[in-house]
Amino acid sequence: MLKSIKTALLGATLFSAALSGVAHAETKLNALFMAQAAYSEADVRAMTDAFTKANPDISVNIEFVPYEGLHDKTVLAQGSGGGYDVVLFDVIWPAEYATNNVLVDISDRITPAMKEGVLPGAWTTVEYEGKRYGLPWILDTKYLFYNKEILEKAGIANPPKTWAELADQAKIIKEKGVLDTPIAWSWSQAEAAICDYTTLVSAFGGDFLKDGKPAFQTGGGLDALNYMVTSYSSGLTNPNSKEFLEEDVRRVFQNGEAAFALNWTYMYNMANDPKESKVAGKVGVVPAPGVEGKSEVSAVNGSMGLGITTTSKHQDEAWKYIEFMTSQATQNAYAKLSLPIWTSSYDDPAVSAGQEDMIAAAKVALAAMYPRPTTPKYQELSTALQLAVQEAILGQSKPEDALNTAAENSGL
């Protein structure tokens, strides 16, 4: 079955490669992106059009998949002999991709200008064991969004600084009858749940791994899951959070049905767009809160990079494309849904215009980004943790038991 899929994919790739060879004499690149959060499909197409206009000898065929399919599609194409030249990858995959020889080590291609200009924290997105497997492109973390109008109605002057305070404020909002379930999260059995969990782990000062072994089942890792369970069972969290992905959270927040929501950068300008949002102009954003005595703010590294596959026959052209997509000029021009990787962009008035709060939150949160564990077995670890989160919030097992089982099934 595996091989037949591989063979079919290979056949399709060869066939399309043969066709394109006849039609054009130019270099054709295939690139894989995601249709979810960060840059919109339209933005990526516009950037790519600008690139092909500047480089008429290169054409780029772009494909979009949901985030949930990005990893598997990349690996599957690679397993069948290739197909993509440029792929978008999440911060959690370089370890696996490097170990399995999916991405090319591009450390030597990085220019001094890049080394100086890109935010130091951004590089962790593409690194594994000292080598770099692409350029960071989407610099992102989960922020705490709040509905200013709802907070005002409940008589709350400032957004919470700690997670305990967030629970208190949600309780006030609930008791005053402003909203029944004030907090929205993305806790579906998916990576999104792990991003929320990681944010809390960073707040509670927990560790995922110690000396390569699971350490999330005690201390901050356990505190984080306990917080989620309490927030769910106390009725402060929207119970549908257990089947939400980021886009569901955005919809609930935009409809004014959440006072607080954890989400990526892209929600700021979308929720402020009166054409599709009922809460335009009332959107507040701050770094996710901290925990007294442990942290000031919390943040998960949810960045993504662009890399070249080892099967690509046009690595120089692919690099040219990546350079263009990650360039400061391109990123500054499309800074409404995803913020640039370049340090100086954050002080550029053209970039911060109309989203001053977002930039202010980003300056603090991006510096506090906490990584998910770097291991080639990340997918297994994450799948085990997703199950633990769901079993705990659904009350099927106690948080400590759920995390212990996850540690056993993590493959580490």
* Contacts to other proteins by CB under 8 A: 1-4, 7, 68, 71-72, 75-76, 78-79, 96, 99-102, 188-190, 239-240, 242-243, 248, 251-252, 255, 257, 377, 379-380, 383, 386-387, 390-391, 394, 396, 411
Give yes or no for a contact between 367 and 195, defined as CB atoms under 8 angstroms apart: no
The strand pairing partners of 298, in sequence order, are: 288
Distance of CA 77 to the CA centre of its chain: 22
Nearer CB in complex with other proteins: 158/255: 255
The token duo for 371 is: 């990584």
For residue 120, which of 367, 403, 381 has the smallest C-alpha distance?
367
Measured from the CB atom, the residue of 71 and 132 that comes closer to other proteins is 71
User: Of 105 and 380, which has the nearer Cβ to other proteins?
Assistant: 380
Q: Cβ of residue 379: shortest distance to other proteins, in angstroms?
A: 5
Q: What is the CB neighbour count within 10 angstroms for residue 57? A: 10
Nearer to other proteins, 69 or 371 (CB): 69
How big is the chain, counted in residues?
412
Pairing of strands 213-214, 295-298: unpaired
Q: How far is the CB of 97 from other proteins (least distance, A)?
A: 9
Q: What is the nearest approach in angstroms of other proteins to the Cβ of residue 230?
A: 18
Ranges of beta strands (E only) in 189-324 are: 209-210, 213-214, 260-263, 283-291, 295-298, 304-308
Closer CB to other proteins, 79 or 117, in the complex? 79
Identity at 285, one-letter amino acid code: V
Q: Which is nearer to other proteins, 100 or 226 (CB)?
A: 100
C-alpha distance from residue 75 to each of 71, 89, 93, 298, 336 (Å): 6, 11, 11, 32, 31
Q: Which is nearer to other proteins, 140 or 257 (CB)?
A: 257
Closest approach, Cβ 243 to other proteins, in A, equals: 3
CA distance 297 to 368: 7
In the chain, the N- to C-terminal Cα span, in Å, equals 28
Task: Return the number of the residue (265 or 311) whose C-beta is nearest other proteins.
Answer: 311
Cα–Cα distance list, 88 to 62, 65, 208, 331 (Å) = 11, 11, 25, 16
Least separation in angstroms between residue 96's CB and other proteins is 8
Least separation in angstroms between CB 233 and other proteins: 14
Query: Cβ of residue 344: shortest distance to other proteins, in angstroms?
Result: 38
In whole angstroms, the minimum distance from the beta carbon of 190 to other proteins comes to 7
The 8 Å CB, 24+ separation contacts for 352-360 are 355/268, 355/269, 357/268, 357/284, 357/285, 358/143, 358/265, 358/268, 358/269, 358/285
